[in-house]
Structure 1
Amino acid sequence: MLATSGAKVAVRIDDLDRGTTVLSGDDFVTLPVAGLGVVPLLIEVAARFEDGTLDPLEIIDRASFDRVEVGGLWQHLKAPALPLADIAVLAAAGGDTTAANALIERVGLPAVHARIEQLGLRRVALIDRFRDHRGPDDAPHVALGSAAEFAGLFAALVNSEAVSAGVSAQVAEWLSLNQDLSLVASATGLDPFAHFNDEHGLLFIDKTGRDAGVRAEAGVLAGPRAGVSYALIVCFDDLSISHRLRAHEAFRSLGIELMEYVF
């Protein structure tokens, strides 16, 4: 329905146990993914924490880089400076654009590009920092990616294959705190603020991305019967609330299907 209305939709679901593809549709197409592009940035930060080239307790002052107000909590906090480890939590858990920009400023986009290449990703790119407004001289998007590669990246995280077991575990831990459960995860019934140890045995980590006419999510969902890695990217004309809700419904529908598969 979305595709027939002119939206661009890309989806990929992989069974983690069997190593097979459950569903794919235009999963090779590179599309804008907004905040989902923070995942390789978090991997680079975690890798530097592990090898000692970055101190998790290094204090970063938010006044040292351009202010951005498009999303997140740090801009509303009284604390003008935070340690890098806490900034990574804000970027992963709250989609905090100020925190993400602080990490980009500290490690640099070239390092993230090198890390993406080292991970074997050919259709993923973090190409700019977050901005309140994008002018003609700015990159048109924060990040790009394909559903296939993001689903594969999340599979690598839970399989301890992203850089190292320690790096994979650290990034997975940060992402397990994500509070945006409004898209695919809206079908899980999980508590947005406390879903790390679900009493029903549901394992879930994810990262979402949002921009004008862009919704993206990738993650891992595992239950007693199966586990999957998934990614869904929808680019649509955000002409009205109805258009937006139609896009959101696609994510919820996928979430329902995934819940039935893993349970």
Structure 2
Amino acid sequence: MRIDFHSHVKISKKSTFMPDYFREMMEEAKATGLTALAMTEHFNTSRFTDVYNFIDSHYTYEHGYYLIDGLKLFPGIEVDIKETGHILLIGSREDILAIRESLDNHTTEDTFIPFNELLDIAEKYHLLKIGAHPFRESTPLHHLEVSQLQRLDALDLNGKDLYAYGNEPYQKKLADFANKINLPIVGGSDTHQYLQYGSVYNDFNEECNTVDELKSAILTGNYVVNTSECLHVKVKGATLAKKILKKMISDKEHISL
């Protein structure tokens, strides 16, 4: 099983959900060799539930994941916290939608939920809890207390950060930190544009059909995190493509007004 734990299906928070773009993303994910994705869309993205309304009406949901033409798509969400930082929560469709509803009053920067409150909510559900890009300058997590971080299940080795800060130096920095606080590391490409798929991924030695199975495999170390030799090209290409697509969408919306 080859899975990416940090992936988006919208080009940006402000853009509308585009079914054709979603289908293209799923096709390209499979083309890179991925067999599973965690769909960790931003919790305060525009019209969050549009994503689930479309997928529910077009694809099968079973065992805790959607089956997208052979690709497993695990529901998830990326949440901003008050202290600065992002937390990835991956679980069943029902649990992710319930958590999103509970965050209705925390969607703007001045109302972001504190870390401990978010984890209090998350721990009521069967979720995989990942600390996203812990050393990203704009949204770090390393400043939190060790006791707080140890409430997470893993830390995110993020494709964008490997590109920005250097593959080997960043991997060592994150590995040293993860060892210090005794947390495993999982890979996430942080894809918004499909060229980025395959930059970072996880090879599991067994198929996982539920979040509990994913957590068990991570805790027992029954997987390997891999980075692509083409990571730099993948992320740079995706970044440029995303910039162009966002401008095209913005220009189109402006003309329609």
What is the TM-score with the length of structure 1 in the denominator?
A: 0.26
Q: Which has the higher contact order (CA 8 A, sep 6+)?
A: 1
Task: Using structure 2 for the length normalisation, give the TM-score.
Answer: 0.27
